[in-house]
Structure 1
């Protein structure tokens, strides 16, 4: 099985303009906000999932928040491999990298965040997703020789379309950074979780592997609950930041 790096399968039609990856070494939570840049992409020649080539992704402001940097690194890892063309295999690899991004974001929150509720959520998210990473790694290895059953380069393919839409939604709803580390974590984890829910729903609709579909349902249940908790906290604290 390939390691965490996986193709930016069905990710967005736009690219975040994030800061230099070296900035995640610092605990600088003063942010400048993120922009999006729509690109024309031709995936058919490269074999990548349609709409997912980030080779032209531009660098943004050097002051981008560490949370945004972590998401940028996650997408770069997902872009490192190409889809096999099996729904279960490719979902496992994509969600594996997505979970690793969430763990990185949780670590940043535990380093920089001050709010007790957001820190507890970060601890829980990290613990849950580390456990699921182990299961996803096993599933990805088990499915390495699975037969192809969808077309990653065909935008009309139902699975390709749903996976792409999951990341398009994340990009379209990407919040601007603020100076508060807790609020940055809250807002970015909300959209990050929603994209995971959407990916898991694509697996439920088009996957064939029983164990992986069960895991996808568990992800939906857990992360929809956490999304609501994140939104509730945001509503209670947005005016204080």
Structure 2
């Protein structure tokens, strides 16, 4: 009887120890998994501003999809992948360079495929204006590569971060549905694109420090708000192209 009792006690102790060890192993595995996920998420978000809403980005394009939409998606993907330095002027300049390159791509598509004289004229003007601004932005962006940090790109409540994020989110969320007419597609896409540039430029005016860059931002606002009005006026007169 004593031997049986001793055996049962020993067996219970062994089972209890095994259970504890398994629980520790499961807890360790769970902790390691959580840390790996957090690390992966942090690495994935390190290039973009905090809380960017990518839900509307149409990243899966195909040969049958609108070339205009593909150009817009390519530009947004490049902007989203940019690593923010944390200096308002530096980050505005580099983001706007990619933004302008997107406008050039869409203007080239309009000049290749469009037929409407007004839209083609606007494409030519946009291309000329933004090529000029790119040539002015590039040396400024390079000069600012060593500029000190003055905002927090990963903090969603940082004033500059929130304004730049709103600009990108607005562009993504307001992407128009493409139609068969290339002139209408250019019109709709550039309206959304220009509004995003205006919003970015306003963020620079509010929080930037570089005098030359702020002057450029104001000129962008003036020129692109005027063109937005022209795009909307043309759109209203050409509803049949929808």
1:109-128 matches, cutoff 5 A: 109-128=110-129
Tell me: higher relative CO, structure 1 or 2? Use CA pairs within 8 A at least 6 residues apart.
1
Q: Which residue of 1 aligns with 2:91?
A: 90
Which whole-Å CA distance do the structure 1 matches of 2:126 and 2:64 have between them? 26
The alpha-carbon deviation at position 83 of structure 1 amounts to 0.6
Q: TM-score, normalised by structure 1?
A: 0.78
- 1:50 paired with 2:50, answer yes
Q: Which runs of 5+ in 1 are unaligned?
A: 1-40
Tell me the distance in 1 between the aligned counterparts of 2:58 and 2:229.
Answer: 32
- Counterpart in the other structure of 1:172: 173
Instruction: State the SS of the aligned residue for 1:143.
Output: helix
Residue 205 of structure 2 is aligned to residue 200 of structure 1 = no
Give 1:106's aligned residue. 107
Query: Which has the greater radius of gyration?
Result: 2
Post-superposition CA distance 1:188-208 (Å, at most 9, x none): 000000000000000000000
Distance in 2, Cα, partners of 1:179 & 1:45: 36
CA–CA distance in structure 2, aligned partners of residues 225 and 240 of structure 1: 23
Question: For residues 181-196 of structure 1, what are the structure 2 equivalents within 5 Å?
Answer: 181-196=182-197
Give the number of equivalent residue pairs: 200
Whichever structure has more helix as a proportion of its residues is 2
Q: 2:6: which partner in 1?
A: none
Question: CA deviation digits over 1:48-93, x for unaligned, max 9?
Answer: 3213496x97414542100001011112222343010000000000
Task: State the distance in 2 between where 1:228 and 1:67 align.
Answer: 20
Contact 2:52 2:169 in 1 (8 A): no
CA distance in 2, matches of 1:163, 1:96: 14
Which aligned segments of 4 or more residues in structure 1 are displaced greater than 4 angstroms?
41-46
Aligned twin of 2:31: none
Q: Is the 8 A contact 1:42 1:51 kept in 2?
A: no
Contact map agreement 2:84 2:153 (CA 8 A) in 1:
yes
CA contact (8 A) 1:88 1:143 kept: yes
TM-score between both structures, scaled by the size of structure 2:
0.78
Aligned CA RMSD, in angstroms, stands at 2.0
CA contact (8 A) 2:87 2:151 kept: yes
